Structure 1
Amino acid sequence: MTDIPRPAVTVLSGFSPAATGAVARRLLVDDPSLLLVVHSIDDLADGTVRRLVRTAAGIVEDVTVELVHGCFSCTLRDDVLPTLVRLAHERPGSDLLLALPRAVEPEAVAAACAHSPWVAEAVRFDSYVTVVDAGRITGDLDTTDDLRDRGLHVAPDDHRAVADVVARQLEYADTILTWTPPDTDPLDRVRTATLLRRLVPWAVPVDADTGDLPAAIRRTHRHDPRLPATLGRALAGYPIGDQAPTGDWGVASLVFEARRPFHPQRLHDALEDLAGLTLRARGQLWIASQPDTVLGFEAAGGGIGLGGLGYWLAALPPARWTEASLDRRLTADATWDPYYGDRRTTLAFVGLDLASDALTTLLTHCLLTDDELADGHDTWPTLPDPFAGCFTHPETTDAPA
């Protein structure tokens, strides 16, 4: 029996519905067999989601779906994925284009797929493409608005910041498609391209004005489901940023690395300044008072987020190291320190007119001093710790994928 190739799924995300919609229409016109799947959340407050499936010729399906458990993430799992699988069986010769609502992060799709192995048997997620409106990306990354301030929250308890959502849409992408308004100043165009390159150096940049846009973003095989989540990439040996402290076109980036731990109180006191100095920050760190826990760090829109990513391997018996990914173990082995083990800080910062020297000085000041190190690690748990009790220890050694 001849195997039928699985339909390829291209996932479109982005915070500008106009730009994302324009890209989707262009792809539909190029391939009459392509199926576009869109879930409108305009009626989310009424507990419903509208599912549209269309081709260039017109609408194939228009269905109102009840919100599962009042949760769009549950609806994603219980309606979006089954819809893709069903369409793959009904129209095996058609690829699929999934356009996400503007406030949905593409990693939510990947997480749902990871827990639904039956999806991978029917379709192949080919690429995650984030569409960027060059005229508004800087403002969206710099705003202090929450989704709720703009009426874009997808659940009653959705308190995410606009800047966080935009940053995560960018960082999960393997392809960044820039949609530039025709009246954009050429210097702004170059600056935006530089900013995107600093924010997501691992993604393939594509200009919407390129001659063969479909070939640039469809059937590229760029998506790798084995890649760790952004905050845990450095743990597995993947780069998380560029080292360009002086920058160009006003955009600079800095990667700060250290083996010694942070003093918990000094780090806490510096968080507001760290948020103010940078447009986006991400990575992992450790604090002296909680030496077993890998902490994920991110900043955007003037806010800071810290959370547990699991255990350092040095804090676990060797028998448990096999719970970590092979990349994580190889990276730990290659960078192992006789005193700290695999514990290390790797943080990436991107900013406009970034004061790199001031940022480095501030971060260095937050580390333990030579005298504090000399006191010995037995004294570290006695340091004042505003973060005490804030981080739980997951059962896994790895950061979530």
Structure 2
Amino acid sequence: MSTGVGEPVPVAQTFTYIDDEHGIDLSQYCRLDCMVTVVDAYRFWHDFSSGESLLERQQAAGDDDTRDVVDLLISQIEFCDVLLLNKCELVSAEELEELGQVLHKLQPRAKLIRTAHGKVDPKSILNTGLFNFDEASTSAGWMQELEKDHHTPEMEEYGISSFVYERRRPFHPERLIAWMEKFPEEVVRAKGIIWLASRNETAQSLSQAGPSIQFGSVGYWVAALSEAERQAVLADEPELKEEWDTVHGDRLTKFVLIRININKEELVAELDKCLLTDEEMTMAWSELKDNLPGAGD
């Protein structure tokens, strides 16, 4: 059993670690059967929206542990086989149903088990054979949504739904940061790739959960590489050619938003206003003021 502040991926990697060079294969001696995440139904929304760091709660692994509570909470939910929703006796049936729908959106693969006073049938979490590292690594709700060829309209239970925002036009850095500073509270989770005009060479990652927003470079666009490097990448990943733009290459914005009771059309309209205008598309983008995290790196 890991502690409440343990990151699930490193824990899983420990049990599946193989080093042929040094003759180390932990899988010969142990087997990771099931990743179980316990969610406190009574405190979930408090922890999710607290904005507190582990240091502030005196639960950090060390003085350099800068993680927020919500980031840890989301990482444990998105990488698991079973979600134990505990303390259900302290929450109303309607609140439990809504929370269950949110958790399913965040982690659609996991089996959700409601418990009271921590009582659970051992058979549901022991000797299950549920764990598969590759499946667990790609099972988060936002990943599943991005991988869909087409997003089909869904029934919105308790106003909970998700959609992919995708545009072939870059964001204006000042308008985007102004929008992010007023990030809608109704958006539970947002994650994906951003095309920022002031950083035309590199793709930016957006990862939001509650009040925690992380933003920064994740590497060069393929279109920004040298001709030789670009052709090598396209040869290895021919699927990139299917969505290749004749002018901007692979540059695009594509991220998932999981939301509760917020109008999709209004949200899309707000984001569209942050994109470059037709006139701005012809300007020198490098001259745009950029105060987003990672500027100047």
Q: TM-score, normalised by structure 2?
A: 0.79
| Unmatched runs of 5 consecutive residues or more in structure 1 | 1-98, 393-401
Query: What corresponds to 2:212 in structure 1?
Result: 303
Paired position in structure 2 for 1:143: 50
Matched, 1:381 2:291: no
The yes-or-no answer on 1:102 pairing with 2:4 is yes
Given the alignment of the two structures, is residue 371 of structure 1 paired with residue 273 of structure 2, yes or no? no
On the 8 A contact 1:125/1:223 being kept in 2, the answer is no
Change (3 A) 1:245 1:219: closer
Aligned to 2:112: 206
Corresponding residue for residue 390 of structure 1: 295
Match of 2:69 in 1: 162
CA displacement, residues 278-315 of structure 1 (integer Å, 9 cap, x when unaligned): 23222111201112212111123323210222222222
After TM superposition, what 4+ stretches of structure 1 lie above 6 angstroms from structure 2?
228-232, 242-246, 322-326
Greater Cα shift, 306-315 or 116-125: 116-125
Partner SS, residue 169 of structure 1: helix
Q: How many Å separate the matches in 2 of 1:323 and 1:151?
A: 48
Structure 2: gaps of 5 or more residues: none
Contact 2:17 2:25 in 1 (8 A): no
Q: Deviations over 1:14-73 (max 9, x none)?
A: xxxxxxxxxxxxxxxxxxxxxxxxxxxxxxxxxxxxxxxxxxxxxxxxxxxxxxxxxxxx
Match 1:272 to one of 157, 181, 187: 181
Counting only pairs closer than 5 Å after superposition, residues 36-115 of structure 1 correspond to structure 2 as 99-110=1-12
Q: Does 1:354 align with 2:262?
A: yes
- What RMSD in Å do the two structures reach over aligned CA positions? 3.7
Answer 1 or 2: higher relative contact order, Cα 8 Å, separation at least 6. Answer: 2
Letter in 1 for 2:182: D
Per the alignment, in what secondary structure is the counterpart of residue 338 of structure 1? coil
- Check 1:221–1:163 CA distance in 2 against 1; reply closer, same or farther (3 A cut): closer
Amino acid at match of 2:36: V
Provide the rounded CA distance (Å) in 2 between the counterparts of 1:322 and 1:188: 52
Q: CA deviation at 1:130?
A: 2.0
Q: Say yes or no: does 1:339 pair with 2:247.
A: yes
Percent of residue pairs bearing the same amino acid type:
27
SS in 1 for 2:84: strand
Distance 1:116 1:302 in 2: 38
Does the 8 A contact of 2:17 with 2:27 survive in 1? no
CA 1:247 to 1:313, structure 2 compared with 1: closer, same or farther past 3 Å?
Answer: same
TM-score (ref. length: structure 1): 0.61
**Number of equivalenced pairs:** 286
